[in-house]
Structure 1
């Protein structure tokens, strides 16, 4: 059986795809710490009670918002803003309109197209990934919640990058990514009611709304081939080894 995180935060009905990535195995036999890094879809729909649970019971110290400024301006939770501690706005972009060319070049399949899309995030968002890594590596800024809109593509790549940088196995990263499959059905229905989202969602092929394990497997292989892995990529965008060591201390348990 594939090893995935077994612990998790309380279920919040209006925060789709929420989970803790603690408990994942590293290649050297350790585990990621619970209560340090969480991921989710947009928190826009949280009511006051749920926002308070996220801030106080879950204890989120930093919310990392990967959405564009336009997305943020159109969908921000006033309830969460009233209680949250800190926010890092770090837009992750692919450099092309996903809604226009999600089917890619002629002859390519959905996995290849999604993988190329994910690799473009690395190319076009170096400052965002550097800032995110530094923030999560800083003592006192976790638990950190990473999210975009669906909590699948931008969030999936960001979380995979952080986990891979501290040595989490590819198998565990892929299994965590695949947990998103089927998590956002109700959220998609809600997003269709927001200005601009109906057109964008309607333009996407069905494959773009899923979380196929093969996509994350191919992304991690591409990351290794192009940058020598997550740590190599982060070094290339300005993250020092001391910060990577701090990230490891923040996210991974000490050896027993």
Structure 2
């Protein structure tokens, strides 16, 4: 389990947790290709040089945003939104009250102000009785799969559909919601479980800078300061437990995908996106 220690990080001024899902070994002796799928924290603070690098060098063409509608509206449009040729798709993994269309599908003249109690638009996540004893992070990840399976699949389909350039999937920190979607991408590509776990845990290397970055945003400051850094740090055992539960209940990540309508053909397309 050494491949994730290579320099897959994309060092940008405006992000802290951006890395390439390329360069990881697969069960059949292959390797995932660099420059196909990236994972990242929030892209709102990208600098002009960052944008030029992503567009010209990385050839970024798809942005898959996993934040809630409220997060997107509170943070505002990031600099990539002004770049022609980059498609933005939105798939919140948290349940929200009411029906929300893709917030990137319509260009409003002005972004509406959200009420002070915007966080209450997020529905309380019910925990299945048999999951009540799981660690909080594991319960959250299972919640994505229970309450927003269609958006997990939507994100994977958006990543699969990209051609001629790179896709980036991100949320706020790029560790939880992004970590679950990245897990499915790597599983479809044939990356062994231990490498998926190591990639998930790699965010721990940058957690101090990541928490500091989010704490500087009014949207996330309270959550960042309410808990200590250790509670925000992703741990290998968390992803390992999620994979174990998927194995036990669905025959693995690919079994979960198949059960939810993302079958062999779509899995092969996702695999090809990361493998060529």
Q: Do Structure 1 and Structure 2 share a fold, with TM-score over 0.5?
A: yes
2:228 and 2:180 map into 1 onto residues whose CA distance is: 20
**Which of these residues, 237, 256, 260, is aligned with residue 214 of structure 1?**
237
Deviates more, 1:165-174 or 1:178-187: 178-187
Deviates more, 1:67-76 or 1:183-192: 183-192
1:57 and 1:148 map into 2 onto residues whose CA distance is: 23
How much does 1:196 deviate?
A: 3.9
- CA deviation digits over 1:66-113, x for unaligned, max 9? 000110111145422112611111111278999x99xxx9xx98x722
Give aligned pairs, total: 246
Distance 1:201 1:179, change over 3 A: same
Asked whether the equivalents of residues 159 and 270 of structure 2 are also in contact (C-alpha less than 8 Å), the reply is yes
SS at match of 1:180: helix
How much does 1:139 deviate?
A: 5.0
What's the counterpart of residue 115 of structure 2?
none
**Which of these residues, 103, 122, 141, is aligned with residue 145 of structure 2?**
122
Distance 1:41 1:218, change over 3 A: same
1:250 and 1:172 map into 2 onto residues whose CA distance is: 18
What's the counterpart of residue 83 of structure 1?
83
What pairs up with 1:67-216 in 2 under 5 angstroms? 67-83=67-83, 85-93=86-94, 112-140=135-163, 142-204=165-227, 206-216=229-239
Pairwise CA RMSD: 2.7
Distance 1:151 1:237, change over 3 A: same
1:124 and 1:114 map into 2 onto residues whose CA distance is: 15
1:189 and 1:121 map into 2 onto residues whose CA distance is: 26
SS at match of 2:248: helix
Asked whether the equivalents of residues 45 and 77 of structure 1 are also in contact (C-alpha less than 8 Å), the reply is no
1:233 and 1:117 map into 2 onto residues whose CA distance is: 17
**Which of these residues, 243, 246, 251, is aligned with residue 269 of structure 2?**
246
Unaligned runs of 5+ in 2: 97-118
What's the counterpart of residue 223 of structure 1?
246
